[in-house]
Structure 1
Amino acid sequence: MNKKRAIPENFMTVGELAKKMGTTVRTLQYYDQEGVLSPTSESEGGRRLYTHKDMVRLHQIQSMKSLGFSLDDIKSKLVSLDTPADVANVLNEQSLAIQEKIRQLTEVAANIDALKTEVLQMQTVDFKKYADIIVNLQMNNEYYWLIKHFDDDTLDHISNRFDKESSIKFMERFNQLNDKVLELKQKNISPEDEHVQELAQEFWSMVMEFTNGEMSMLPKLIDFVNLTDDNHEWLEKQKNINEYLQPALELYFQKAGINPFEGV
């Protein structure tokens, strides 16, 4: 008996559908069992039969599965494909989901490249710093590259002192302060000027906020300011600011009777 003749026109067996769509009979049987994709009909001999509409539905399932959706999610997202508008809506949803996946994968790839750059610049294997860099990359913290310059004690202090929100806000305030300092520097305002002194006081307050009053951290911060092995634009800007602000800070300390290195 010719089995092909037993299959009505425009119908496919489970094996034929699996071959056309690059999957397995076992997978299609599992989809049927889970109620995700059941055959449209059966032959007289009890063979599962699928249509081209089922093929389109399978394509939808495969697309969503490749995007990481579970079968339960897929089942809830499947809609009727009875009109051109239905099909277009499904394709539009798939397109949007794929674009989002591309965005996510692009971000992951960029993070991997960023981590690779940091790893090579560190020159020694340090999994603690790798982990901290990964966390900060995932938080979209643009200052993740600073991590390689801090020792373990400083990193522990930062992680205990700041969370994601407070660390970002601190850096925003710090950069705003830097911009004010640069503005005065460009105008050649002297260190004795009251506006410069106000910024020197604000700068020192932020240092105290960062260290939480732990003066033993000052030498480490000074070493950080004097970094010469990194051509990062932010560091260059910071060096420029510090060179201008240092005389103002010294004058502020003198007037306020502060010895920042006392006991250090």
Structure 2
Amino acid sequence: MAKYKVIPQGYMTVGEVAKKMGVTVRTLQYYDKEGLLAPSAESEGGRRLYTDKDLIILHQIISLKSLGFSLSDIKERLISLDMPADVANALTEQANDIRKKMEQLSVSLTAIEQLRTEVLQMQTVDFKKYADIIVNLQMNNEYYYLIKKFDDDTLDHIRCRFDRESGLAFMDRFNRLSDEILQLQKENVPPESEKCQQLTKTYWDLIVEFTNGDMSMLPKLMEIGNFENAANEWEEKQAIIGAYLEPALGIYFSSIGVNPFEEIQDE
């Protein structure tokens, strides 16, 4: 690197370059340290000196960085690319990366807006529930909003009882069973019929599986499952199923000689 006693014509100090290009002196020092842009010369007093050619390289760095290229990419690949096809390929890769980031940001934006709605409806600050809602939004679980109906004990039970995979699998089984029961209701199949009683048993087995046999959870589940004021199609469906299954469950409990709901009320 050439050294000069005084700053010759055509050279600029780091401060002048920073001001001209709208960057900080610290940024230029960092680019020099990382091997992205070294000054063309240096004064005897140690001042870095840049030329117009350096400004062109700096403009290239700033422009590519604004497109989302990492400094590593700029240093290792982009500045040294000479063939138009090579540059085009690099830009294509970057465009694909940006599309992925846009998709991720779009999902995050939707989650933020949905969480905001739930926060306002909950009317209390509960970061534990917020975290559960966020996790379920990330899982694309469309029933995430039900979380605000659960109390802390029920949520703790769910966290311990299910992981991401088993939780989604359980909801899938529940919804498929719900569709079968709803079809019986539409066909006016009587609750005492063998077909209805078989599905009623399966429905009850799912409840027992969910509670892990802890029948003290039933009152909470009944409260959560009260969809008299249904807010959407899924809740409307559950309200219909609940009304249809009520007598069917009574018949089923009578057949096995046990009624968990009555036992809880007697306690």
Q: TM class, shorter-chain normalised?
A: 0.7 to 0.9
- Write the deviation string for residues 107-126 of structure 1: whole angstroms up to 9, x where unpaired: 11111111111111112333
Alignment partner for residue 50 of structure 2, among 48, 51, 55?
A: 48
Moved more, 74-83 or 244-253: 74-83
Unaligned runs of 5+ in 1: none
- Residue 60, structure 1, aligned to residue 52, structure 2: no
**Residue identity matched to 2:109:** A
Q: TM-score, normalised by structure 2?
A: 0.82
Moved more, 24-33 or 72-81: 72-81
Moved more, 116-125 or 151-160: 116-125
Q: TM-score, normalised by structure 1?
A: 0.83
- Residue 158, structure 1, aligned to residue 162, structure 2: no
**Residue identity matched to 1:48:** Y
User: Following the alignment from structure 2 to structure 1, what is the Cα–Cα distance between the partners of residues 173 and 17?
Assistant: 61
Describe the SS at the equivalent of 1:174.
helix
User: Following the alignment from structure 2 to structure 1, what is the Cα–Cα distance between the partners of residues 105 and 169?
Assistant: 28
User: Following the alignment from structure 2 to structure 1, what is the Cα–Cα distance between the partners of residues 243 and 178?
Assistant: 12
The alpha-carbon distance between structure 1 residues 31 and 219, as it changes in their structure 2 partners (threshold 3 A), is: same
Give the length in aligned residue pairs.
253
User: Following the alignment from structure 1 to structure 2, what is the Cα–Cα distance between the partners of residues 28 and 258?
Assistant: 79
Moved more, 143-152 or 45-54: 45-54
Describe the SS at the equivalent of 2:201.
helix
| Greater than 6 Å deviation, 4+ residue runs | none
CA offset at residue 127 of structure 1?
Answer: 2.8
* Aligned counterpart, 1:107: 107
User: Following the alignment from structure 1 to structure 2, what is the Cα–Cα distance between the partners of residues 230 and 16?
Assistant: 67
Describe the SS at the equivalent of 1:47.
strand
Contact 2:200 2:245 in 1 (8 A): yes
* Aligned counterpart, 1:252: 252
Moved more, 213-222 or 125-134: 125-134
- Write the deviation string for residues 133-191 of structure 1: whole angstroms up to 9, x where unpaired: 22322333222101111111111111111111110000000000011111222222111
The alpha-carbon distance between structure 1 residues 253 and 263, as it changes in their structure 2 partners (threshold 3 A), is: closer
CA offset at residue 64 of structure 1?
Answer: 2.8
C-alpha root-mean-square deviation of aligned residues, in Å? Answer: 2.8
User: Following the alignment from structure 1 to structure 2, what is the Cα–Cα distance between the partners of residues 99 and 16?
Assistant: 37
Unaligned runs of 5+ in 2: 1-6
- Write the deviation string for residues 3-38 of structure 1: whole angstroms up to 9, x where unpaired: 79535xxxx876676556542232122022012x12
**Residue identity matched to 1:103:** E
The alpha-carbon distance between structure 1 residues 4 and 234, as it changes in their structure 2 partners (threshold 3 A), is: farther
Contact 2:31 2:37 in 1 (8 A): yes
- Residue 38, structure 1, aligned to residue 37, structure 2: yes
- Residue 116, structure 1, aligned to residue 116, structure 2: yes
Task: State, as a whole percentage, how many aligned pairs show the same letter.
Answer: 55
* Aligned counterpart, 1:141: 141
* Aligned counterpart, 2:26: 26
* Aligned counterpart, 2:3: none
Aligned ranges 1:1-16 → 2 under 5 Å: 5-6=9-10
User: Following the alignment from structure 1 to structure 2, what is the Cα–Cα distance between the partners of residues 248 and 106?
Assistant: 45
User: Following the alignment from structure 1 to structure 2, what is the Cα–Cα distance between the partners of residues 130 and 91?
Assistant: 39
